[in-house]
Amino acid sequence: MRLLYNLLFLTLFGLSAPHYFWRMWRRGGWRSGFGERFGNISPEKLKPLANAKVLWLHAVSVGEINVCAQLIATLGPQLPGWKFLVSTTTTTGMAEAERKLPAEVVRIYYPIDFPWVVRHVLHAVHPSAVVLVEAELWPNFLWQTQALSLPVFLANARISDRSFPRYLRAGFLFRELFAAFVGVGAQNEPDAGRLRALGCQAEAVHVTGNLKFDAVRPPDPAKHSPATLLAQLSVPADAPVLVAGSTHAGEERLLAAMLPRLRERCPNLFLVIVPRHFERTKAVVEELRSLGVRFALRTELTEGKSFAPGSVECLLVNTTGELMSFYTCATVVFVGKSLTATGGQNPIEPGALGKPLVFGPHMENFRPIAADFVASDGAVQVSDASTLESTLATLLDDSSRRAQLGANALRVVQRNQGASTRTAEMIVRHLTGR
């Protein structure tokens, strides 16, 4: 089985590598950490881990990094003397790790799942235990942890409608891997049932809740002041602001196209677009220009620079780590990757700030969370671009409705908190016997 997997993985990697490396080159910044993905980690980087018990946490990207930051803050006092290492897969995840994680936490890129690469990295890091956040399972990594008798936990685990049948069909490969987890923190009971059906030991599965409700922290106004940035753009202090967060291809064009019509009803409306991947800036710039949108780039707002009143109606945020800050100044929030792409993005962050939320039909990766917001009247889910426009227009006209949605969204976040404590208890209980 392992030989077959490695032959298939090597073949598929060889076929997809040109496209994969082209995407990395196109996005830019690909040299940073490139060698780490193949196990070439600087010994100096790992030096702080020497002669210590190490807990390795893996976070795929930005959202999981925030979860790791919260989990480490909870685990730290309960695991005195332990050191923490966090790995991530994406460049945006690494940028978020540099911002959000304590300085003493070691950060690396997750190794590509070749057996010799994984083996080399595990021996270099020498972890005492591993925590995988959510459910990114790479067979060679897990097989190597089994060979070293390392306890492996699955935290904030969710199994999507799309993944569940795939894991079932590949049960000959994954059932053994699921069975090896010593502790599994599921987001809810349906996920717990799916994890048990996939092979997780019943006694290892616990419903801990969603860690993303605990991971939200208000931004530091001393570091990020959106009000100051908007003032540089000569946006009136009382102007309504529509923040489109974590947008994907196609959504920026739709929002830009409806902006003139929305401004007819709400003349001072200002649009802030924060693409999920800042590397798409060039493509988004071309779309905004083609539609005649008067915009500025976040990187143009250097200290002291200002823009004439009325010269800018849209800010394109081509930096990372500032989305939460821009949410603080939002009158209404549109949650991206929900209209022209599938999966959705995190609605918890703006919800925790008491902002009225709108998202499209595709919130598959946040289905229970999105359903909770909608059922609690803390968000409006729209079916298409036309409905999005009419919904935004209605909310921009109705301050009482915005306040009601925002207050309900905040209550949803507050009643779902506590997962970090429950997850930490599960991990510490196994590692220390307490």
Give me the active site residues, please. Answer: 64
The DSSP letter of residue 405 is: H
Please choose, from the candidates 74, 103, 118, the residue with its C-alpha nearest in 3D space to the C-alpha of residue 86: 103
Report the run of H or E that residue 172 belongs to, with start and end.
helix 171-179
Sheet holding 295-297, edge to edge: 295-297, 314-316, 270-275, 241-247, 332-335, 357-359, 379-381
**How many residues does this entry show for the chain?**
434
Please choose, from the candidates 52, 155, 56, 173, the residue with its C-alpha nearest in 3D space to the C-alpha of residue 108: 56
> CA–CA separation, 218 vs 37, rounded Å?
32
> CA–CA separation, 76 vs 189, rounded Å?
28
Burial class (CB in 10 A: 0-12, 13-18, 19+), 118: buried
> CA–CA separation, 117 vs 428, rounded Å?
29
Residue 238: which residues within 8 A CB-CB, separation 6 or more? 268
Q: What is the CA radius of gyration of the chain?
A: 22
DSSP code string of 60-127: -SHHHHHHHHHHHHHHGGGSTTEEEEEEESSHHHHHHHHHHS-TTSEEEEPPPS-HHHHHHHHHHH--
Please choose, from the candidates 405, 62, 349, 409, the residue with its C-alpha nearest in 3D space to the C-alpha of residue 214: 349
β partners of residue 82: 53
416-433 b/e (C-beta count within 10 Å ≥ 16 → b): bbebbebbbbbbeeebee
Alpha-carbon separation of residue 20 from 13, 48, 287 (angstroms): 9, 32, 25
